[in-house]
Amino acid sequence: MSKKKKKEEDPKVHEELKGFKMEINSFGEISSSFSIDKINEFLNKNVEDKKLKDRDDSKSE
């Protein structure tokens, strides 16, 4: 019996991240199709930072 080959298909992603690809080369270096700044901008807009969630910046001593 031969093994079935997996069909290469793009994963489901957020509309703003269409075309996003990440790869790791043989040296362990990560390469991406988007710049780090664009990825960080997306994360800042769409993901809540758990460490800053309960932070109260209006404290005065």
Count of other CB atoms within 10 angstroms of residue 27: 5
Which pLDDT tens digit goes with each residue over 22-55?
Answer: 899 999 999 999 999 999 999 999 988 888 777 7
Q: In the structure, what pLDDT confidence band is assigned to residue 60 with cuts at 50, 70 and 90?
A: very low
Unique residue bearing structure tokens 């910046």: 57
Tell if the pTM clears 0.75, that is, is over it. Answer: no
What are the sequence ranges of the domains in the chain?
21-45
pLDDT of 9 reads 76
23: Cβ contacts below 8 Å, ≥ 6 apart: 30, 31, 32
β-bridge partners, 24: 30
Total count of residues recorded for the chain: 61
What is the 8-class DSSP label of residue 33? Answer: S
